[in-house]
Amino acid sequence: MALLQISEPGMSPEPHQARLAIGIDLGTTNSLVATVRSGVPVVLADANGRTLLPSIVRYVDSRKIEVGYAAQARQADDPKNTIVSVKRFMGRGVKDVAHLESAPYDFVDAPGMLQLRTAAGVKSPVEVSSEILRVLRERAELSLQGNISGAVITVPAYFDDAQRQATKDAGRIAGLNVLRLLNEPTAAAIAYGLENSSEGTYAVYDLGGGTFDISILKLSKGVFEVVATSGDSMLGGDDFDQRVFCWIAEKAKLAPLGARDMRLLQVKAREAKEYLTLHGEAAITAKLSSGEFVDVSLDTETFCSITQTLVHKTLGPVRKALRDAGLTADDVKGVVMVGGATRMPQVQRAVGEFFRRDPLNNLDPDKVVALGAAMQANVLAGNKPQGEDWLLLDVIPLSLGIETMGGLTEKIIPRNTTIPAGRAQEFTTFKDGQTGMSIHVVQGERELVSDCRSLARFELKGIPPMAAGAARIRVAFQVDADGLLSVSAKESTSGVEASITVKPSYGLADADVERMLRDSFDHAREDMHARALAEQRVDGQRLIEATRSALAVDEKLLNEEERAAIERAISSLQKLLTGTDHRKIKQAVEALNRATDEFAARRMDAGIKRALAGRKIGSL
Amino acid sequence: MQSHFDLFGLAPAYALETDALERSYREIQSKVHPDRFAHAGDAERRASLQWTTRVNEAYRTLKDPVQRAKHLLELHGVDVAFETNTAMPPEFLMQQMELREALENAKDPSALDELRKRLRQEKSFMERQIGDSIDHKKDYNAAAGLVRKLQFLDRLDEEIDAAYEEIE
């Protein structure tokens, strides 16, 4: 009698069963998770039917953490341990953060990225963000009844390398397989473009809680091409709240406030801002800890005048993006509004006047990013057949370069370059007999290194002693599809080569990430070994499936011997998958990867030849 | 090494078949882009990253008038030598000085718009001359001189961008 087969959870019994993939909008104010269900993108709700998760984390004590509404409810009582808008701190140092004095936290200045002292110890913004992501992951697992195969997490288009790396690490710590970091305006463009089957040049104006992005895209059948992007990663709805908060403090003639009162009035300021979207006047009342009452009234006119400079500040990047794209406002067919802060009437008005057309608001500005991310996750998971999917071409927002003599920046990859991108440049030594070279990687548009953001420093050692100017040091930059940079340097005269590859760091070493990963599992009382084993099995199974389907299509690219070598690597991995040693599975996965290196390269070449052959026949 | 033109199945010429270039760029990207390999093994992901990087660089080079000319001239064995050969005819330098003076005096966006319009005309005139030298006269040394001039004009274009930002 044949035995029935039961597959491991998370392992699909057949290769073409849809994989569970999610899109996450990790916002400054609110976060969401969405998926594509029976071909339709949907935002997933919690047990109470709420789709938004306030991006607020409260460390109650060393064991207990509250995330979302529960944390929000306690923010005024426990401001030091209740972290709001943590996105503003991602990949940022103490000196980078505006209004630090009015943030009621106990900051710890750490190299690269600041940290926060809480009831559960010192926490990095990466760990705080991972708590939000974990809640969303669990929500999705519950709602979809299965293991999540992969996630797309969105980031502001204007996020620099450090901020992107921090976001990706947060995803890893939350136990997610991060398929891609996707720019928020691009995600919105996908949702909007597919919903409305739009063609032509569109602008996406995305004013979120803490960040502002503007992206100019060309939409044509099956292709979303970002032509330019710009923004301000320190400008958002929070700043409008801050203006109202200052106005209240001045109007009510308040003495310097304690942390609790400060948070209370910030919440009131925010409520007033939201109320003014549909009303002409907002009453602001609060009882301070001193017993003093605040009772003031803010009208629309005053609100517009105290926030006018903020609205104006968004238009600079809009002009810059248009210039970089070589376009004018008249070339833009539609302006898609994204982010809760675009609900403010003065923002709608300013954008409408600038582009001389009514902005597009037909998708919920709070949800459109998550929906687009889910659609992209569905494509990346391979759930869409070729032909029904689309091609997404995005860019890096800020130039990447290195420091040269005199503290000047030499740009190696300019902003708005389509990613993945790679470029190398040669440099030489300054002194006779120089055997080492310090390489300082920076990001930004300014000429002086001190005005750019420092991403990494590393040293190339072992250059053979030569006369000044004789050595040839080739510094190569590679930006991947997530917009993340890696750099290598190589000395190539006299046959001596030295090479090093660095991942730009923002102060979190790989060891730190490992530790956070461990801590987070301790916390959730999950068995780390079981989790690692499950992940390795999924990885291994996935690789076997991918290799088999590649063999099925392109077997002819291999000779007998090569094919046999790959088959051997598959079967030894297959055997180990039933065992319980995740390290051995990992080694076998790596071995299979190495065994298919050459095959992969040949398949890629063949794919290109087919594409071109098709074109030539088509154009005859 | 395969030229950027070969990669896209185009004839090596300065006059660009923009539509054909865009079509083959997209066709190749749809085969090699990392989004097609998000769930594949490391080997395929690496190959995809390398190819996409190469295709993007080739596309960018061909789309840019200065870089396309430089690439073509290299294929013909002529080095444009931006760094070492900075000698320019006096009348060209005079005209450059005059344009730069105009830039310094431009204090509002409309003055900059005007200057940019003038510069763009200058650039497209230069591009036509480069095309003529390479594609018809096959005078690659003369073309190299023109390409150096065009790069000069590109730099001025960047300075105009910076001036806009200053005003804003």
pLDDT one-digit tens code per residue, A447-483: 888 888 888 887 888 888 888 888 888 888 999 999 9
Note whether B101 and B138 are same-domain residues: yes
Choosing among 1.10.443.10, 3.60.40.10, 2.60.34.10, 2.40.10.10, the CATH entry for A400-510 is 2.60.34.10
Q: If pLDDT is split at 50, 70 and 90, which confidence band does B60 have?
A: very high
Q: Averaged over A41-51, what is the pLDDT?
A: 95
d(CA A442, CA A426): 17
Count the domains in chain B. Answer: 2
Question: DSSP readout, B64-87?
Answer: SHHHHHHHHHHHTT----TTT---
Domain ranges, residue B134: 90-167
Is the model's pLDDT at A16 over the cut of 60?
no
- Assess B19–A contact: CB distance below 8 Å, yes or no: no
Report pLDDT for A60: 94
What value of ipTM does the predicted structure carry?
Answer: 0.91
Backbone angles phi, psi at A181, to 5 degrees: -95, 130
Note whether B45 and B97 are same-domain residues: no
Q: Is the dihedral of CA A525, A528, A531, A535 positive or negative?
A: positive
* Structure token digits, residue A317: 């990047």
Whether A333 is catalytic? no
Structural domain boundaries of chain A?
21-196+364-386, 400-510, 527-615
pLDDT tens digit sequence for A229-253: 999 988 999 999 999 999 999 998 8
Residue B26 lies in a domain: yes
In the predicted model, what is the mean pLDDT of chain B? 90
Note whether B43 and B102 are same-domain residues: no
Residue B12 lies in a domain: yes
| Residues found in chain A | 620
Instruction: Say yes or no for a CB contact (<8 Å) between B48 and A604.
Output: yes
Q: Averaged over A28-36, what is the pLDDT?
A: 96
- Assess A547–B contact: CB distance below 8 Å, yes or no: yes
Whether A25 is catalytic? yes
CA distance B104 to chain A (A): 19
Distances (CA, A) of A385 to A16, A267, B109: 10, 47, 49
pLDDT tens digit sequence for A331-349: 999 999 999 999 999 999 9
Contact call for residues A502 and A472 (beta carbons, < 8 A) = no
Burial of A382 (0-12, 13-18, 19+ CB in 10 A): buried
Query: Strand, coil or helix: what is B39?
Result: coil
Test mutation, B17, B26, B168, chain A, max A CBs within 10 A: B26
Residue B55 lies in a domain: yes
Report pLDDT for A6: 43
- Assess B6–A contact: CB distance below 8 Å, yes or no: no
DSSP state letter for A45: P
CA distance B38 to chain A (A): 6
Burial of A90 (0-12, 13-18, 19+ CB in 10 A): buried
Residue B105 lies in a domain: yes
- Which listed residue (A160, A206, A241, A482) is catalytic? A206
Report pLDDT for A1: 40
Report pLDDT for A450: 85
Which residues are bridge partners to A299 per DSSP? A281
Note whether B105 and B151 are same-domain residues: yes
Instruction: Say yes or no for a CB contact (<8 Å) between A381 and B32.
Output: no
pLDDT tens digit sequence for A301-321: 999 999 999 999 999 999 999
Residues 135-194 of A with CB under 8 A from B: 149-150, 179-180
d(CA A607, CA A516): 41
Q: If pLDDT is split at 50, 70 and 90, which confidence band does A11 have?
A: very low
pLDDT tens digit sequence for A257-299: 888 898 899 999 999 999 999 999 999 999 998 888 999 999 9
Instruction: Say yes or no for a CB contact (<8 Å) between B41 and A423.
Output: no
Instruction: Say yes or no for a CB contact (<8 Å) between A393 and B43.
Output: no
Using alpha carbons, select from A190, A194, A188, A165 the residue that is nearest to residue A178. Answer: A165
From B63, B79, B113, give the residue that closes a domain.
B63
Top CATH class of A527-615 equals: mainly alpha
d(CA A46, CA A42): 13
Contact call for residues A238 and A208 (beta carbons, < 8 A) = no
Contact call for residues A573 and A588 (beta carbons, < 8 A) = yes
Using alpha carbons, select from A6, A209, A226, A27 the residue that is nearest to residue A132. Answer: A27
DSSP state letter for A456: E
Q: Which position has the token pair 């339709």?
A: A40
Q: Averaged over A63-82, what is the pLDDT?
A: 92
Contact call for residues A119 and A158 (beta carbons, < 8 A) = no
Q: Helix-strand-coil percent breakdown of chain B, rounded to 5? A: 75, 0, 25
Distances (CA, A) of B6 to A558, A618, B9, B12, B55: 25, 18, 5, 8, 11
Test mutation, B2, B10, B31, chain A, max A CBs within 10 A: B31
* Structure token digits, residue A440: 């300082």
* Structure token digits, residue A572: 């030894």
Q: How many CB atoms lie within 10 A of CB A515?
A: 14
In the predicted model, what is the mean pLDDT of chain A? 87
Whether A169 is catalytic? no
Poorest-confidence range of A91-100, A198-207, A578-587?
Answer: A91-100
Residue B78 lies in a domain: no
Note whether B53 and B114 are same-domain residues: no
Does domain A21-196+364-386 sit in CATH 3.30.420.40? yes
Is the model's pLDDT at B40 over the cut of 90?
no
Using alpha carbons, select from A562, A317, A576 the residue that is nearest to residue A445. Answer: A317
* Whether residue A359 has a cis bond before it, omega within 30° of 0: no
Q: If pLDDT is split at 50, 70 and 90, which confidence band does A435 have?
A: confident
Query: Strand, coil or helix: what is A546?
Result: helix
For B161, the closest chain A residue by CA position comes to A323
* Structure token digits, residue A595: 């065994």
Q: Helix-strand-coil percent breakdown of chain A, rounded to 5? A: 40, 25, 35
From B48, B63, B78, give the residue that closes a domain.
B63
Is the model's pLDDT at A3 over the cut of 50?
no
Poorest-confidence range of A118-127, A201-210, A432-441?
Answer: A432-441
Report pLDDT for A282: 93
Contact call for residues A572 and A588 (beta carbons, < 8 A) = yes
Is the model's pLDDT at B141 over the cut of 50?
yes
Q: Averaged over B12-26, what is the pLDDT?
A: 92
For residue B113, the domain's CATH number is 1.20.1280.20
DSSP state letter for A12: -
- Assess A612–B contact: CB distance below 8 Å, yes or no: yes
Q: If pLDDT is split at 50, 70 and 90, which confidence band does A619 have?
A: very low
Backbone angles phi, psi at B140, to 5 degrees: -75, -30
**What is this structure's pTM?**
0.88
For residue B46, the domain's CATH number is 1.10.287.110
Q: Where on the phi/psi map is residue A509: left (φ > 0), alpha (ψ -120 to 50), or beta?
A: beta
Which residues are bridge partners to A200 per DSSP? A219
Distances (CA, A) of B15 to A100, B69, B130, B133, B149: 55, 10, 9, 11, 18
